[in-house]
Chains A and B, each alone.
Chain A
Amino acid sequence: DAKTTQPTSMDCAEGRAANLPCNHSTISGNEYVYWYRQIHSQGPQYIIHGLKNNETNEMASLIITEDRKSSTLILPHATLRDTAVYYCIVRVARGKLTFGQGTILTVHP
């Protein structure tokens, strides 16, 4: 699986958009970009995934660059409950997930 690079930590004000970047410059054509988050020691929570098109669901938007070497997860109106570790993972369909250290997002009032 391709390696990803994420900032160690980010801050965001409540109500503002949180934009979390991820670099995956060695991604292969058949690898998807997945985003999960983990709040405290709870089980990782699926957020969104994409192959090459931008995606949006009720939780977030995923913007993937045209060359697929990087992506951005957007939480449009962050709340205090969005404080978590966010993981960007690339993998082939049905493959295992390889977690890195992720980005610690802190949403403050």
Chain B
Amino acid sequence: EPEVTQTPSHQVTQMGQEVILRCVPISNHLYFYWYRQILGQKVEFLVSFYNNEISEKSEIFDDQFSVERPDGSNFTLKIRSTKLEDSAMYFCASMMDTQYFGPGTRLTVL
């Protein structure tokens, strides 16, 4: 059964560094999403992406964040200058009609 994959499973970085989180969506899906979950808190929507552009973004998704689909298969989330409060699980999801989630990347900012 096709599934969404994410790499790395765990990323540790120093505050102020740039990180790129990678996702491979399910191959025939057209809609792509990033969510995050701070430890002990709710899953929060960050951004949705369709037809090579952002279709919706939350207040969390500020200028430090960007997304792209560089090669037609990968979908990436870049955080330009990480802060301590960016430490969280980041989930990618893709959708044709129903959203399916990847296993997540645990980002730890020191």
Contact = CB atoms under 8 A, between A and B. Distances in A.
Interface of A: 34, 38, 41-46, 49, 87, 93-94, 96-101
Interface residues of B, number: 25
22 contacts: A38-B43, A41-B37, A41-B104, A42-B103, A42-B104, A43-B4, A43-B91, A43-B102, A43-B103, A43-B104, A45-B101, A46-B99, A46-B100, A46-B101, A93-B97, A96-B48, A97-B33, A97-B93, A98-B45, A99-B35, A99-B43, A100-B42
Contacts of B101: 43-46
Contacts, number: 47
A8 to B, nearest CB: 13
Contacts of A101: 42
A17 B45 CA distance: 32
Main secondary structure of the interface of A (DSSP, over half): loop
B21 interface: no
